[in-house]
Structure 1
Amino acid sequence: MNDSTRRERLTLPRITAFTCPAGQHQAFLWDSDVPRLAVRATAGSKAFFFQSKMDGQVVRITIGSVVAWTIAAARAEACRLQTMIDQGADPRAEKRERIAAAARKIAEEEAQAAALVAEAEAAQREQEKRQRYTLRALCEAYCALLDSRGKPSARQARSILKVHVFDAHPDIAALPARELTALQVASMVRKTREAGHERTAGVLRAYLSAAFTAGRKAPFDASLPAALIPFEVEANPVEAIPAIAVRAGNRTLSVDEMRTYLAKLGDDIADRALLLALLAGGQRMAQLLRAKVSDYNPDEETLRLWDAKGRRAIPREHVLPLAPRAAALVAGLAERAKARESTLLFSTHGLRQMAETTPGKRAAAISAAMGGEPFDLRDVRRTVETMLASMGLSRDTRAQLLSHGISGVQAAHYDRHAYTDEKRAALVAWEARLDEIETGRRTPNVVAMKAQRTS
């Protein structure tokens, strides 16, 4: 720009009428009031423009669009820029800093917005995690683990946890498992115990402890399912709760009570289960109810059960060489199952196994009908072993017959004797003893038993 440049006082009509001539890429309309201010027009826009000199160099700065800026504001800005030059400050540096500051502010605002979004997403994920990985979900995952390992206790675990946790304490069951406290566990165990279910309270504590232990070990133990890891269990709150010792039962049925008990067993499927458990030497009902038609060998008259009790990774095969009455009963159950196209010896509707609680409820009903001191299936099992002992059956053979107390290195790795002859002799003698009890007739030499091991 030079002093001979034609100037006009900038007005809105003049700015509106001003255009860039054809063939030029830009044109200037200089203001007469503020000599350093102009309107620069290009083919597509118009903007207020400042031009001056500083230290012999031309300084050019675009102030802003004529749409966004008023003429008065543009003149004031041009005067400010010239004042800066007069004071030795470069307005271009100031503009660059202003643009950089604006960019920083935008970046900060975007970062803050992104942080807020991330925080909201994290809060949402945390809320979803709290709602998903609850005590109830941990217990269900533990029961699924028992299922995957073929543990028959899975059914009992589900039942006890449902009744005494999910239904009785839905508010605690809905809490994140990792936040559960010992006091909350204690309140659930205490309520179960105070309701008169002391044994169940002990079992409940054991299942809860096992579930938390599995959750705590899952990140480090490859044998545990990865589904337990997201629960983020770092401690077992059940450890602070004292274990409830199982009181050793001492209830046994007298001979008269056993006679009445036998007399009340009918032909119903639950009654048949109770009778077979008795004839087979006091077998555990849970194992007996899992028996399949294929587990019965009619040629050898043996019934194969699977003992998964305790910490066995693989269920122990438990073969019973049945005495005549028990063999006939199992043969009848096998025919019944085949007629129903079922693979199970004990099924209510053909396809599903009879609930483990059904025979127990039936035994309780018989006990109530008999009057006197109540008894349950554990008491019947105890009675059988007591009577077998009184018949002279050795402790080792009783253990093999009832499949309990079989542990240790010798039993696990070296003792491969099947005890078939001993068990068969014991069950034959036991059926004879039961016949004595039912009929009152004495069978000679029925108690003269002494187990002999054969190699």
Structure 2
Amino acid sequence: MHQRLNSSRIKKSTELARSTGRDLWLSDDLGAYGMGRLVLRISPGGARRFYYRPLRAAGRSKAIPLGLYSRTKQVGHLTLTQARKQASNLAVSLDTRSAVDTAETVRQTWPSPATSQISTQPRPTTMAPSNHSLIQLCRSYARHLKDNNKASARAVELAFERFIAPTELADQPARQISPTAFTDLLRGIISASSGYSASKVRSYVHSAYAYALSARLNPSAPKSQLDYGIESNPIAGIDALAKYKIARTRYLRDDEFRAIWRGLQSTKKFTIPGRGLRLCILLGGQRAEQVVSVKTSQVDLEAGTILLLDGKGNRPIPRQHLLPLPPQALEEVRWLLSYAQSVKSPYLLPSKMPNTAVSAGSISKEVLCIRHKMEADDPHQEHFQFSDFRRTIETKLASLGVSKDYRAQLQSHGLSGVQNKHYDRHDYMREKRDVLILWEKYLTALTDGLLPTAS
């Protein structure tokens, strides 16, 4: 028996969709037998959209999008009462049309004497492209990133759910959306959020279309990617919004970094994201996306190593980034490993949800909390964010006399050249260990109010 929709049920289901990471569909009776149903789709990102699902007898089996849900009257949205009225009107309209169309359909499909013979004409070799929607394309691309262990998978998924799923374009056929429509979408994101967010969404959607296009000439691509019927990339001609992607140059002063590191020494009320932040720093400024993806099987306490998977860029297989664990990092990893085993999680940094790790965003939020505390103590405190830590650490290592090559090996960047890719097979473990031990000495001296000399 179907339940009637109400605001309380919708609110609870929205929270459930967010916690499970899956779409939820709620059904609402229209009050009369044979009139189809009003349904509400709730996405993990919080988007809530009404659809009318007609009876198959009405000549349509696919749900018809009506609009976004709002508890109160709002431009561009539908209240529950308004959605019910629209669905009821559609039900009457489709029912009237189907009575006329049924006779016409029978007449057209009944074989005439002239056409009753088996056709000798060749059958078409390709199927007509389906009307898979934009949000289906985007989610398929996000799953592709996740299946290939790409560090950006979660960020891409969240961007699609936040900026694409709630829009009118979400349910339109991906192959039919024009560049102008996408330009209007990005313009709205710039106005409502930020230019940087718009530039990221443009990049992600461009990649989703490029992925679908490449499937046509990729024998290993899943057949589902061929069904979109996409012939061109509508994002290709849209401005890349480069002015919003200016590289940051901020790095932390010694007194700032000292205050941050001292605050991270206390284990009182320590969160898993907080420990993840500590580990990123102790390992010489590693990327949060790669650290949170580490599974317990990638830690070898006996050998004193931790394996990160560097999947950035277009690598079909993530590059293995093996790091030694100096004393403080080893102690941190040993605690995390013990905790992960106690909660039966496969991840070194487990979240509260079973079989999932904390997100890279949760580590960034730890940095945000630290900054807010520092700003409360000093109104003139300069802005900083997690990405500035990696730049700060490389800058400090350079000041300590660590060569550019060793810094690149430690932070896994600038290693895609011919020499590193094909000829240099040295693992640099001894050199990375020496650098990390030097870095731990620097952190200890910094905490004690001392600064080591360059070496």
Shorter-chain-normalised TM-score: which range?
0.5 to 0.7
**2:389 aligned residue (361, 364, 380):** 380
Query: Is the 2:368–2:385 contact (alpha carbons within 8 Å) kept by the matching residues of 1?
Result: yes
Query: Is the 1:134–1:176 contact (alpha carbons within 8 Å) kept by the matching residues of 2?
Result: yes
* Letter matched to residue 244 of structure 1: L
Count of residues paired in the alignment? 327
**2:362 aligned residue (347, 355, 358):** 358
Deviation of 1:221 after TM superposition, in Å, equals 2.2
What residue is the counterpart of 1:56 in the other structure? Answer: none
Higher relative contact order (CA 8 A, sep 6+): 2
2: CA distance, partners of 1:318 / 1:129 = 42
Is 2:273 the partner of 1:273? no
Paired residues for 1:384-399 under 5 Å? 384-399=393-408
Q: Secondary structure at the match of 2:434?
A: helix
Deviation of 1:439 after TM superposition, in Å, equals 1.0
Paired residues for 1:386-425 under 5 Å? 386-425=395-434
Q: Secondary structure at the match of 1:142?
A: helix
Instruction: Give the gaps of 5 or more residues in structure 2.
Output: 1-102, 112-126, 376-380
* Letter matched to residue 438 of structure 1: T
Query: Is the 2:309–2:320 contact (alpha carbons within 8 Å) kept by the matching residues of 1?
Result: yes
Cα deviations by residue, 1:155-183 (Å, 9 ceiling, x for unpaired):
2111001101112x1x1111111111111
Q: Secondary structure at the match of 1:318?
A: strand
Deviation of 1:416 after TM superposition, in Å, equals 0.7
2: CA distance, partners of 1:441 / 1:176 = 62
2: CA distance, partners of 1:162 / 1:348 = 21
| More off after superposition, 138-147 vs 315-324 | 138-147
Cα deviations by residue, 1:340-375 (Å, 9 ceiling, x for unpaired):
222211002363211221111111111122111221
Query: Is the 2:294–2:348 contact (alpha carbons within 8 Å) kept by the matching residues of 1?
Result: yes
Paired residues for 1:77-96 under 5 Å? none
What residue is the counterpart of 1:27 in the other structure? Answer: none
Alpha-carbon spacing, 1:268–1:401, altered in 2? closer, same or farther (3 Å):
same
What residue is the counterpart of 1:341 in the other structure? Answer: 344
2: CA distance, partners of 1:442 / 1:152 = 35
Query: Is the 1:205–1:243 contact (alpha carbons within 8 Å) kept by the matching residues of 2?
Result: yes
Q: Secondary structure at the match of 2:422?
A: helix
Is 2:377 the partner of 1:370? no
* Letter matched to residue 405 of structure 1: G
Instruction: Decide which structure has the larger Cα Rg and report it.
Output: 1
What residue is the counterpart of 1:209 in the other structure? Answer: 206
1: CA distance, partners of 2:139 / 2:263 = 39
Query: Is the 1:214–1:224 contact (alpha carbons within 8 Å) kept by the matching residues of 2?
Result: no
Alpha-carbon spacing, 1:127–1:316, altered in 2? closer, same or farther (3 Å):
closer
**1:192 aligned residue (189, 193, 217):** 189
1: CA distance, partners of 2:105 / 2:299 = 73
> Given the two structures, how large is their TM-score scaled by the length of structure 1?
0.68
2: CA distance, partners of 1:162 / 1:299 = 42
What residue is the counterpart of 1:135 in the other structure? Answer: 134
Query: Is the 2:337–2:348 contact (alpha carbons within 8 Å) kept by the matching residues of 1?
Result: yes
Query: Is the 2:280–2:288 contact (alpha carbons within 8 Å) kept by the matching residues of 1?
Result: yes
What residue is the counterpart of 1:114 in the other structure? Answer: 108
Query: Is the 2:274–2:363 contact (alpha carbons within 8 Å) kept by the matching residues of 1?
Result: yes
Is 2:286 the partner of 1:286? no
Q: Secondary structure at the match of 2:309?
A: strand
Deviation of 1:112 after TM superposition, in Å, equals 9.5
**2:233 aligned residue (231, 236, 241):** 236
2: CA distance, partners of 1:404 / 1:128 = 41
Deviation of 1:411 after TM superposition, in Å, equals 1.2
Deviation of 1:250 after TM superposition, in Å, equals 0.8
Deviation of 1:317 after TM superposition, in Å, equals 0.7
What residue is the counterpart of 1:321 in the other structure? Answer: 324
2: CA distance, partners of 1:318 / 1:244 = 32
Percentage identity across paired residues of the two chains = 34
| More off after superposition, 197-206 vs 280-289 | 197-206
Alpha-carbon spacing, 1:176–1:143, altered in 2? closer, same or farther (3 Å):
same
Deviation of 1:215 after TM superposition, in Å, equals 2.0
Q: Secondary structure at the match of 1:317?
A: strand
2: CA distance, partners of 1:318 / 1:211 = 27
2: CA distance, partners of 1:237 / 1:116 = 42
| More off after superposition, 292-301 vs 309-318 | 292-301
Deviation of 1:409 after TM superposition, in Å, equals 1.9
2: CA distance, partners of 1:229 / 1:294 = 36
User: In angstroms, what is the RMSD of aligned CA positions?
Assistant: 2.5
Cα deviations by residue, 1:57-114 (Å, 9 ceiling, x for unpaired):
xxxxxxxxxxxxxxxxxxxxxxxxxxxxxxxxxxxxxxxxxxxxxxxxxxxx999922
Instruction: Give the gaps of 5 or more residues in structure 1.
Output: 1-108, 118-125, 449-455
Q: Secondary structure at the match of 2:227?
A: helix
* Letter matched to residue 150 of structure 1: N
Query: Is the 2:130–2:229 contact (alpha carbons within 8 Å) kept by the matching residues of 1?
Result: no
| More off after superposition, 138-147 vs 186-195 | 186-195
Query: Is the 2:129–2:229 contact (alpha carbons within 8 Å) kept by the matching residues of 1?
Result: no
Q: Secondary structure at the match of 1:138?
A: helix
Query: Is the 2:142–2:157 contact (alpha carbons within 8 Å) kept by the matching residues of 1?
Result: yes
Cα deviations by residue, 1:245-265 (Å, 9 ceiling, x for unpaired):
321101111111111111222
Q: Secondary structure at the match of 2:401?
A: coil
1: CA distance, partners of 2:153 / 2:105 = 51
Cα deviations by residue, 1:114-160 (Å, 9 ceiling, x for unpaired):
2699xxxxxxxx99943xx1111111121222233332322211100
> Given the two structures, how large is their TM-score scaled by the length of structure 2?
0.68
